[in-house]
A and B are shown apart, each in its own frame.
Chain A
Amino acid sequence: MSFRARHLLGIEHLAPDEITTLLDLAETCVDLNRSADKHDNALQGLTQINMFFENSTRTQASFELAGKRLGADVMNMHMQASSVKKGETLIDTALTLNAMHTDLLVVRHPDSGAVNLLAQKVNCAVLNAGDGRHEHPTQALLDALTIRRAKGRLHRLTVAICGDIAHSRVARSNIWLLGKMENRVRLVGPPTLMPSGAEDWGVEVYDDMHEGLKDADVVMMLRLQKERMDGAFIPSEREYFHRYGLDAAKLDKAKDDAIVMHPGPMNRGVEIDGTIADDINRSVIQDQVEMGVAVRMAAMKLLADNLSAARTQPSEVTA
C-alpha cells in the first residue's frame, strides 16, 4: 500500500490502493483534529500557497487550516484581484511560484484542465482545489471518508448523486472515486443538467428523483448555481425544488438508514429542504466539513513525502 502520485490533480489517475492509503491516513488526522493539541509538525518548514482564481470561502479555509495544523507556512493568494487582471499568464504565475520555492500549491481555477497545465510547469506538489467542471478530488475524498465512517464500508453501496451534474466537478470526482471503489452510482437530475454521454460512464442515469433514490444508501445533493435559470437549463427555482429538491417524500424512497450529503454551500429550499439538512439522524453535512480538513491534511502529508523523495532521488516517484 502506498501513495505514488506527485500531484493530486484528480481522482481519475489514482489507483484504489492510493485512495485507501489516503483515507487511512486521514483517519489519524481526524483523531488529531479532535484532540486538545491539534498540531503536528509534518509540514514544518514547507511553504504552502493557496491560489484561488475563483471565489471560495470554505475550501480555502479548510486547506489553510489543514496546512497550519501541520506546521506549514501558509499563504493565500486571491488571483482575481491581483496579477491575472494585469494579463499575467498561468505560466508566468508558475514561474513566479517556482522562484518563491513553494512546496505545496493548492489551486482553484474556473477552467477545466488549468490546474493540470500549471502542474506541468511548477516544481512543487500541486493539489487541485477544483478546476472548471473537471475535478475536485479532495471533495470526493472527504465524501468517501464520510461515507466510510457512516456506513462502515466504501464498496457495494448505492450512491445517488442528484442535481446539476453537468456543471459539477464534485460529481465527476465522485463518479471516478465511487466507481473505482466498486459502488453503484446513479446520477439523478433534469436532462438539461445531465452531461452528454453520461450513460456511457458506467453509471445509471435517472430524470426522476423518486426512481433514482429508490433503495439508495447515500443521497448526495449538489448545489444548483443560481445563474442556471439564465441559460434556460431549468424554468424556476420552485419548479426545480418541486421536482428535484430533496424533501421527506423523496428521501422516503431511499433506504431507511440512507445518509444525506451536500458539498456546500447549500441553497435551502432549492435543492434541499432545510429540515432534512439539519436532521442529525440523516444528514452528515457537518461531518463532511470536518472530514475535509482531515483529508486535506492527509493529502498534503503524502504529497510532501513524495516531494522530498523526488527531490533527493528524482527517479523514484512517478508523475
Chain B
Amino acid sequence: MTALLFKNARLIDPEAGTDSIGTLAVRDGKIAGPTGMDDARVIDCDGKCLAPGIVDIGVKVFEPGERHKESFRSAGLAAAAGGVTTMVTRPDTTPAIDTPEILEFVRRRANEASPVRVLPMAALTRGRAGREMAEIGFLMDAGAVAFTDCDSVVTDTKVLTRCMTYATSLGALVIAHPQEPIFSAGAAATSGKFASLKGLPAVSPMAERMGLDRDIAVVEMTGARYHADQITTARALRRLERARAAGLDITAGVSIHHLTLNELDVGDFRTFFKVKPPLRSEDDRLATVDAVASGLIDVISSMHTPQDEESKRLPFAEAASGAVGLETLLPAAMRLVHNGHIDLPTLWRALSLAPSKRLGLETGRLKAGAPADLVLFDPDAPFVMDRAKLRSKSKNTPFDEARMEGRVLGTWVGGAPVFPE
C-alpha cells in the first residue's frame, strides 16, 4: 500500500482537543505521524479540515430482508460520501440479526459490498421480542460488537435483568432505547402545544426519563456496560448525569436530527420529520446540544433509517419512523459549529473518538499507529440539499432543500480512498 502525506491540513484531533494546521503521514493503512517518507503521495489539503472518520453507531441497513430500501452497497457508498468510515449496524432487520448464522451472512455481505468498515450489532433477545435471550456468547464470537433490541424496549424487567447480568459476565455492551413502552404506545409526536394543535397522537417527554430510570436501576443491579441509544430530553439528561456521577458504566448517544431539528419542523404533517423518539421542544434540543458540548452525551449518530416512499406517504400517525442520515450527518452537525455551540474537536469527539472508545476500537484518533480512517472536508462549503442525489436507496431526509454548509472532499478507510469513487 502506498504511503500518503496530507500537507497543509487543518487537523481536527479529538483526542488532543486541537484544531491546527499541520501535516499527517499515512503508511501501511495506519497513521504514521507528522512526517512522511520520500515515496509518499502528497495530498495538498489547501487548509481544509482533516479528521478521523466518523464512527456511526446505529445504522440501519435492510439486509437481510428489505434490500430495496437499503443494501450494504448503497449504505456503504452513502457512508463514504458522508465521511463515515465505520457503520455500526442495527439488528432490527427482518428477520432480526439474532443468531450467529444470520450475523455471518451480514458480515459476508458487508465485506463484499461496503467500501467502509461495517461492525454489526446483534439482538439482545430472540426476534427482538423481549422474551428469550439471544446467544450472546456465540454472537460475540461471530463478531457482534454490541447487543440491542433497538427501538423495541424489553418490557419485562426480569428478562432485561437476566440479559444484562449474562452480558456483563461476557463484557458485552448493551445498547437500549430508553422509553416507557406502554405509556408511549401509538405516539407519533411529543405532547405539547404543537402536537395538540395538529391533533397528533403524542406522548409526554417524561416517557424517556421513565425508561431511563428503569434501565439505570437494572445497570446498578447488574453492573452492565450500558449505552442509551438516544437521550433527547433535559429531564432524562439529569438522570444520566446522576447515574454517571454514581460511577455506573453508562454512556449515551443522540441522533443528529434531535440536535438540529425540533417538533415544529413537522409543520403540516411532514412525515420525513417523523423519527423515534419524536422530535422534541426547542428547550430540549438546546439541552441535548449543551450535553454534547459538555460530554454528558458521548456519541452523535445519524440513526440512519431508510424508508421507501410508500412507508412515508401515509397519514402521519401511520407513516414509518426514521430518516436517512449517513450523507447529511456531517453538514448537519456543522450547523452546531457554525452556530457557535460547539467546536470541531469536541464535535469529533462525539462523532468519532467516543464511539470508537465505547466499542473498544482503535479508530477515532490521529495519533501514530491508529488506522488511517480519515475524512477531508470543507466546513464552510455551502450547498442546497437535494434528496434525489443521495446515494441511499431511500431518500427520506428531513433536510431536503435545506441550505447546508460542510462538504466532504475525500474519505479514506485504512489509508485507501473510498470517496470520491
Contacts and interface: CB of A to CB of B under 8 A. Distances in A.
Interface of A: 12, 89-91, 109, 111-114, 116-117, 131-135, 166, 169, 172, 195-198, 200-201
A90 B314 contact: yes
B68 interface: no
B199 A201 contact: no
Interface string B279-315: 0000000000000000000000000000000100111
Interface stretch (B119-127, B138-146, B188-196, B238-246): B188-196
Interface residues of B, number: 21
Contact of A133 (B193, B194, B199, B315): B199
A132 B199 contact: yes
5 contacts: A90-B315, A111-B318, A112-B317, A166-B196, A197-B194
Given A112-B269, A172-B197, A196 B202 contact: yes
B310 to A, nearest CB: 7
Contacts of B202: 196
Give 8 closest A-B pairs by Cβ, nearest first.
Answer: A113-B269, A133-B199, A197-B193, A111-B315, A195-B196, A134-B199, A112-B199, A114-B315
B371 to A, nearest CB: 46
Nearest to A114: B315
A197 B196 contact: yes
B198 A113 contact: yes
A169 B314 contact: no
Interface of B: 191-200, 202, 204, 268-269, 310, 313-318
Given A113-B268, A113-B269, A89 B197 contact: no
A201 to B, nearest CB: 7
A132 B194 CA distance: 15
A111 B193 contact: no
Given A112-B269, A113-B269, A117-B269, A89 B313 contact: yes
B273 to A, nearest CB: 12
A89 B200 CA distance: 20
Contact of A111 (B194, B196, B317): B317
A117 B314 contact: yes
A112 B198 contact: yes
Contacts of A89: 310, 313-314
Contacts of A196: 191-193, 195-196, 202, 204
Contacts of A195: 196-197
Nearest to A109: B315
Contacts of A134: 198-200
Contact of A116 (B196, B268, B318): B268
Output the residue of A134, A169, A198, A201 with the most chain B CB within 10 A.
A134
A112 B201 CA distance: 9
Contacts of B197: 12, 172, 195, 197, 201
A133 B316 CA distance: 12
Contacts of A169: 199
Contacts of B200: 112-113, 133-134
A12 B269 CA distance: 14
A201 B202 CA distance: 17
Given A116-B269, A135-B199, A195-B196, A111 B313 contact: no
A200 B194 CA distance: 9
Given A112-B200, A135-B199, A196-B202, A201 B315 contact: no
A223 B192 CA distance: 23
